Amino acid sequence: MSTLKLTDCQKGKIKEICVSFHNDPGELINVLHKTQGEFGYLPEEVQREIAKNLNISVAKVCGVVTFYSFFTMTPKGKHPIAVCTGTACYVRGADKVVDELKKQLNIEVGGVTPDGEFSLDCLRCVGACGLAPVVLVGEKVFGRVEPKDVKKILDSYKE
Amino acid sequence: MGQYKMHLLVCGGTGCRASESARLVDVLGEELVKQGLEKDAQVVTTGCFGFCEKGPIVKIIPDNTFYVHVMPEDAAEIVAEHVLKGRRVARLLYQDPNSGETIEDSKHMGFYQKQLRIALRNCGFIDPECIDEYIARDGYAALGKVLTEYTPEQAIDILKKSGLRGRGGAGFPTGIKWEIAAKNAADQKYVICNADEGDPGAFMDRSISEGDPHSVLEAMAINGYCIGANKGFIYIRAEYPLAIQRLEIAIRQAREYGLLGTGILGSDFDFDVELRYGAGAFVCGEETALIHSMEGERGEPTVKPPFPAESGYLGKPSNVNNVETFANVPVIYLKGPEWFASIGNERSKGTKVFALAGKINNVGLIEVPMGITLREVIYEIGGGIKDGKKFKAVQTGGPSGGCLTEKHLDTPIDFDNLLASGSMMGSGGMIVMDEDDCMPAVAKYYLEFTVEESCGKCAPCRVGNKRLHETLEKICEGKGTEADLDYLRNLSSVIKDTSLCGLGQTSPNPVLSTLDNFWDEYVAHVTTRTCPSGRCKALLHYSIDTEKCTGCTACVRVCSTAAITGEKRQPHVIHQDKCIHCGACFDKCKFAAINVQ
Write out the DSSP string of B150-166: --HHHHHHHHHHHT-B-
Flag whether pLDDT at B1 surpasses 50: no
Whether the bond between B72 and the residue before it is cis, its omega within 30 degrees of 0, is: no
Residue spans per domain, chain A: 8-67, 79-155
Q: Tell me whether A102 touches chain B (CB under 8 Å).
A: no
The predicted complex's ipTM stands at 0.89
Strands A79-84 and A118-123, bridge-based pairing: parallel
Sheet holding B402-405, edge to edge: B364-369, B351-358, B429-434, B391-396, B402-405
- In angstroms, the separation between the Cα of residue B569 and the nearest Cα of chain A is 30
Question: For residues B591 and B502, what is the distance between their CA atoms, to the nearest angstrom?
Answer: 53
| Partner-chain contact B52 A129, CB within 8 Å | yes
Quote the DSSP letter at residue B165.
B
Mean pLDDT of B73-77: 95
Nearest chain A alpha carbon to B457:
A67
Name residues whose C-beta falls within 8 Å of residue B553's C-beta, 6 or more positions apart in sequence: B566, B568, B572
Question: For residues A155 and A153, what is the distance between their CA atoms, to the nearest angstrom?
Answer: 6
Question: For residues B508 and B519, what is the distance between their CA atoms, to the nearest angstrom?
Answer: 16
Whether the bond between A133 and the residue before it is cis, its omega within 30 degrees of 0, is: yes
Question: For residues B551 and A59, what is the distance between their CA atoms, to the nearest angstrom?
Answer: 64
Percent of chain B with pLDDT over 90: 79
Phi then psi for B534, rounded to 5 degrees?
Answer: 70, 20
pLDDT computed for residue B152 by the predictor: 97
Residues within 8 A of A (CB atoms), B 257-286 only: 276-282
Looking at domain A79-155, which CATH architecture does it have? Answer: 3-Layer(aba) Sandwich (3.40)
Q: Tell me whether B110 touches chain A (CB under 8 Å).
A: no
Mean pLDDT of B423-447: 92
pLDDT computed for residue B2 by the predictor: 55
Beta strands in B35-121 (DSSP E): 41-46, 58-61, 65-67, 94-95, 102-103
| Partner-chain contact B199 A125, CB within 8 Å | yes
Question: For residues A37 and A40, what is the distance between their CA atoms, to the nearest angstrom?
Answer: 6
Q: Tell me whether B429 touches chain A (CB under 8 Å).
A: yes
Mean pLDDT of B467-495: 96
**To the nearest whole number, what is the mean pLDDT of chain B?**
93
Domains, chain B? 6-113 (3.40.30.10), 131-340 (3.40.50.11540), 351-434 (3.10.20.600), 439-526 (1.20.1440.230), 541-596 (3.30.70.20)
B306-323 per-position pLDDT tens digit? 999 999 999 999 999 999
Nearest to B18 among A25, A63, A141 (CB): A141
Nearest to B19 among A32, A91, A131 (CB): A131
CATH for A8-67 is 1.10.10
Residues in chain A where the model's pLDDT stays below 70: 1-3
Give the range among A87-91, B1-5, B257-261 with minimum mean pLDDT: B1-5
B516-568 per-position pLDDT tens digit? 999 999 999 999 999 999 888 888 889 999 999 999 999 999 998 899 999 99
Write out the DSSP string of A38-68: HHSS--HHHHHHHHHHHT--HHHHHHHHHHS
Strands B391-396 and B429-434, bridge-based pairing: antiparallel
Q: How many CA atoms lie within 13 A of B236 on its CB side?
A: 27
Q: Which stretch, B6-15, B314-323, B529-538, B588-597, has highest mean pLDDT? A: B314-323
- In angstroms, the separation between the Cα of residue A33 and the nearest Cα of chain B is 8
Q: Are B296 and A28 in contact (CB under 8 A)?
A: yes
pLDDT computed for residue A2 by the predictor: 55
Q: Where are the alpha helices (DSSP H) in B11-56?
A: 14-18, 21-34
* Of residues B406 and A124, more confidently modeled: B406
pLDDT computed for residue B523 by the predictor: 97
Q: What number of C-beta contacts closer than 8 Å exist between A and B? A: 130
